[in-house]
Amino acid sequence: MAKHRVCPWWLGYFLLSPIRRWLGDPVEAVISYVQEGMTVLEPGPGMGFFTLGMARRVGPAGRVIAPDVQPKMLKVLKRRAEKEGLGERVEARLVQPDTMALNDVAGRVDFALASAVVHEFPSPANFFQEVSRALKQGGRLLLLEPKGHVGETRFAVELDDAARAGLRVAERPAFKRSHAALLEKL
């Protein structure tokens, strides 16, 4: 098994770069799944490339739960959320690599986003189990994995892990440079 690695915290600044939008990273397409009043889960949000857009969309009645293992990423995320007036909507959580500790939101999450993050978890199977427990019946998970890091075979294994956790493929949307699946909790 490969050694567990996560994106270095300092790379978060590059990931926030406007160049990502210019290159066509799918911010608007991703946040279009989010509706006002939703509870959204975004494991591994980094410094919030998608987080703040989702926080705007959930409105004052919604929230975005953002668990990450890196304190420096979360510090920047919190600062950015406060600066944008979205601090009340973004719940940044420092977690351990082996669990996101989501028991308090079991069955309460409407939508989850896993963008370029599942391959960084020590156990993708555990990741999908935790997300499935957090999702409401019919809740959805948008899974995006970068083709440069995750091959077709590995993505297929992730989808098998998701299926074992009770998540079925509802759609296979097209996202540039990413393997993608919209999963739904059965």
The confidence band for 26, taking pLDDT boundaries of 50, 70 and 90, is low
Per domain, the residue ranges of the chain are 26-185
Strands 109-115 and 178-185, sheet pairing: unpaired
Query: What is the Cα–Cα distance from 73 to 9, expressed in whole angstroms?
Result: 6
pLDDT > 70 fraction of the chain, expressed in percent and rounded:
86
Average pLDDT, the chain: 89
The confidence band for 177, taking pLDDT boundaries of 50, 70 and 90, is confident
DSSP-assigned states of every residue in 34-99: --TT-EEE-SS-TTTTTHHHHHHHH-TT-EEEEEES-HHHHHHHHHHHHHTT-TTTEEEEE-BTTB
Question: Bigger pLDDT: 101 or 18?
Answer: 101
Query: What is the Cα–Cα distance from 167 to 184, expressed in whole angstroms?
Result: 5
Strands 178-185 and 135-146, sheet pairing: antiparallel
CATH of 26-185, one of 3.40.640.10, 1.10.620.20, 3.40.50.150, 3.40.50.740: 3.40.50.150
Query: What is the Cα–Cα distance from 42 to 117, expressed in whole angstroms?
Result: 10
Strands 90-94 and 109-115, sheet pairing: unpaired
pLDDT at 66: 98
pTM for the whole thing?
A: 0.88
Q: In this predicted structure, which of 22-36, 51-65, 150-164 has the lowest mean pLDDT? A: 22-36
pLDDT at 3: 46
Distances (CA, A) of 65 to 16, 53, 98, 110, 153: 19, 13, 17, 11, 30
The confidence band for 165, taking pLDDT boundaries of 50, 70 and 90, is very high
pLDDT at 120: 87
Query: What is the Cα–Cα distance from 162 to 11, expressed in whole angstroms?
Result: 28
pLDDT at 21: 52
